Structure 1
Amino acid sequence: MKWYFVAALLTVLTSSQGILTTLSQTKGSYLYDYATVPFLAEFFKLVVSGLLLWREFRVSPSTRITTEWKTVRLYPIPSIIYLIHNNVQFATLTYVDTSTYQIMGNLKIVTTGILFRLFLKRKLSNLQWMAIMLLAVGTTTSQVKGCGEASCESLFSAPIPGYMLGALSACLSALAGVYTEFLMKKNNDSLYWQNVQLYTFGVLFNMAKLIVDDFQSGFENGPWWQRLFNGYTTTTWLVVLNLGSTGLLVSWLMKYADNIVKVYSTSMAMLLTMVLSVILFSFKPTLQLFLGIIICMMSLHMYFAPPHVLVDSPPTPKPAPEALKEVSIDRKADS
């Protein structure tokens, strides 16, 4: 399967996450425990990866898996990074408003490129660096509201800790992605075996979070397993399915493509979500949105197009053929 097909599918699924989540609300609120959705999504990914691994074993018994502890112990680290990242997110939102937080989140585009270069030793050309910067500018432009709105005044008025936590959140998000790519490409193990390890720890960490939430609430609504499916509708299950499928596609890209492709997919998904919101939720399109889409499309072309397409270099003149030199041959008469 070509990586660009997977990236396009990831863009579509990611863009529909916010829409499905909004549609799963009833009168503006959730009738289900939203913390159970990531747990079920991780469990879904674990089951699917386990079934695919079993199928791969039946087709090819020589499927490569590594069970050494020194390798397996590396797989909880992404879950730990995401756990810290989620807590930093909540801390950031205590200092800045939602619009500012979304705009600051675009820093992860640049930090991903930097960590991609530092830790994975992947060299990017000057044009590709310019494309990444353009992508960050384009996504930010699309999110900036009109200066007649109150949020425009509060964009640069947050306290310094808010900006520091926002930058830390962007770095943690990029670090989790780059580290996951490092794990996936560390050896030639089966992708499904690597997924089983990742999602096993993902299920355990999400279960631990649900247990902690129970203790913090004093088991007011009972233990988490009793309310696991309470309030679930067809749309809620679509949210779980979407979230799980998105994670599986991301792991495929980490194995066979790279983090930059994932960054472009998620950034384009954000723009697609805004366009769909115009159609579905009567969201008013802004000039900033159109400018952001144009800038991001330019960035996409600049990053992935071959260099000779981007630079119109003058044709190299062909050297003129050398003039033939007349050579005289002295012939001696036969004696």
Structure 2
Amino acid sequence: MGMKRLVFKLYCLVVMTLVAAAYTVALRYTRTVSSDLYYSTTAVCLTEIIKLFLSLGMLARESGGLSRCRSSLVEHIFRSPKELLKLSVPSVVYAVQNNMAFLALSNLDAAVYQVTYQLKIPCTALCTVLMLNRSLGRLQWFSVFMLCAGVTLVQWKPAELTKVQVEQNPIVGFTAVAVAVLCSGFAGVYFEKVLKSSDTSLWVRNIQMYLSGIVVTLVGVYMTDGPQVMDRGFFYGYTPSVCFVIFLASVGGLYTSVVVKYTDNIMKGFSAAAAIVLSTIASVTLFGLQITVTFALGALLVCVSIYLYGLPKQDTSVLTRPDSKTAKEKLISV
């Protein structure tokens, strides 16, 4: 059982790392090298639709058949409007976050975005303390301040691109990152609270959230790019690269929900740090990124802080808990 759990964690680590790095670089590529830009709102909406169908497939597999899957949907979807409303909150927030990611990557380099976006860690930590009544150890808070220092160094002298064909605005990019960070922290903790407060299936929760997400993103398409979409079509500007980005976003969204339920901060930290390294290397090759000493030092601090923050808090609490021996005896007696 222990070996299977280790293999599962390693598998999730590898997939999350590759998806995060590939998504950032691919999205950056599609937003900077094409003259006929696709509408980001339609891409976000299509991502929600794909995630819904993938979750339906996983629920059917988990339920053991279409009939049981249908019964589960009737019980948890059509007869539980309150649950749908509850999951609409992260749907709205995630929709805003995804659109901010498009805006940020249209104005920032992929590596700069990847590093600055790690501010979601202290934001998530703060939301966890406030919303889930959890506490963080000194090492975790120290890593938060180290992360902020690293991000500051990265922003001190942002690396310039040499192969970008569209005009960029760093202020708009960093503002979009800030909004995305706040959305990520709140929505992630909120979804975790809902997910772990009941025994409802993960895929049912996903379906509830994605149904709301589709409605929200469709409204976003209409309000933001309605006339253009009606004139040029929903899939205007779509290329194989854009389809690949949407696929990565869909898979990444599903793995995010799996990680929230089954894995820990160590895996998420290693994944984020490895994604930074991979996206930086890719940016050097694809976009001509010139990495400065300041940028390299900041990225290093960020990677170290992510690792420190991911160190197991449970082990520390066990070692420092005065009644740990009593707790162990109670487990043996049970």
TM-score, normalised via structure 1 length? 0.70
Name the structure where helix makes up a greater proportion of residues. 2
Counterpart check, 1:72 vs 2:84: yes
Q: Distance in 1 between matches of 2:96 and 2:158?
A: 33
Structure 1 residue runs of 5 or longer lacking an equivalent are 149-157, 311-335
Q: Deviations over 1:218-247 (max 9, x none)?
A: x35526xx7122332211110110111111
- How far apart are residue 188 of structure 1 and its match? 1.6
Q: Which amino acid aligns with 1:127?
A: L
Q: Map of 1:158-307 to 2, 5 A cutoff?
A: 170-215=181-226, 219-220=227-228, 222=230, 227-257=233-263, 262=268, 265-266=271-272, 268-305=274-311
Indicate the RMSD between aligned Cα atoms, in angstroms. 4.1
Distance in 1 of aligned mates of 2:34 and 2:85: 42
Aligned length: 290
Task: Give distance in 1, aligned partners of 2:87 and 2:229.
Answer: 33
Residue identity matched to 1:14: A
Contact map agreement 1:141 1:291 (CA 8 A) in 2: yes
Match of 1:114 in 2: 126
Residue 6 (1) aligns with residue 18 (2): no
Q: Which amino acid aligns with 1:71?
A: E
* Deviations 1:163-206, CA, capped at 9 Å, x for gaps: 99986664333111111111221212111111111111111111
Amino acid at match of 2:124: T
How far apart, in 2, do the equivalents of 1:41 and 1:88 lie?
15
- The more displaced of 250-259 and 41-50 is 250-259
Question: 1:105: Cα distance to partner?
Answer: 5.2
Cα 1:34/1:182, change in 2 over 3 Å: same
Work out whether 1:57 is the aligned partner of 2:77. Answer: no
Give the aligned partner of residue 329 of structure 1: none
- How far off is 1:38 after superposition? 0.8
- 1:29 has 2:35 as partner: yes
Q: Is the 8 A contact 1:250 1:262 kept in 2?
A: no
Whole-angstrom CA distance in 2 between matches of 1:232 and 1:278:
25
Distance in 1 (CA, whole Å) between partners of 2:58 and 2:127 is 31
**Closer, same or farther in 2 for the Cα pair 1:306/1:287, shift >3 Å?**
same
Cα deviation, 1:73-117, whole Å, max 9, x if unaligned, reads 20100122345667889999xxxx969x96875543322111112
Distance 1:204 1:108 in 2: 26
**Alpha-carbon separation, structure 2, partners of 1:164 and 1:276:** 24
Identity of aligned residues (%): 28
Structure 2 counterpart of 1:112, one-letter code: T
2:138 counterpart residue number: 126
Q: For 1:39-90, what per-residue CA distance to the aligned partner results, in whole angstroms no more than 9, with x for missing partners? A: 1111111111001111111169599874533333201001223456678899
Query: Which residue identity lines up with residue 145 of structure 1 in the other structure?
Result: K
- Cα gap change, 1:11 to 1:86, in 2 (>3 Å): closer
- Over 3 Å counting, the alpha-carbon distance change for 1:169 and 1:51 in structure 2 is closer
Contact 2:17 2:271 in 1 (8 A): yes
In 2, Cα distance between equivalents of 1:290 and 1:165: 23
- 267 and 74 in structure 1: CA distance in 2 versus 1, 3 angstrom threshold: farther
Q: Using a 3 Å threshold, how does the CA distance of structure 1 residues 43 and 23 change in structure 2: closer, same or farther?
A: same
More displaced 10-residue stretch of structure 1: 114-123 or 168-177: 168-177
Task: Say if 1:272 and 1:134 are closer, same or farther in 2 by CA, change over 3 A.
Answer: farther
Question: Separation in 2 of the partners of 1:166 and 1:192?
Answer: 29
| Greater alpha carbon shift after TM alignment, 104-113 vs 60-69 | 60-69
User: Contact (CA 8 Å) 2:154, 2:295: kept in 1 or not?
Assistant: yes
Deviation at 1:250, TM superposition (A): 0.7
Cα distance in structure 1, aligned partners of 2:9 and 2:153: 28
In structure 1, C-alpha distance between the alignment counterparts of 2:223 and 2:312, rounded to whole Å: 51
Tell me how far apart the structure 2 counterparts of residues 189 and 170 of structure 1 sit (CA, whole Å). Answer: 28
| Cα 1:76–1:174 shift into 2, 3 Å | same
Scaled by the length of structure 2, what TM-score is found? 0.70
Counterpart CA distance in 2 for 1:19 and 1:89 is 12
**In 2, Cα distance between equivalents of 1:8 and 1:282:** 26
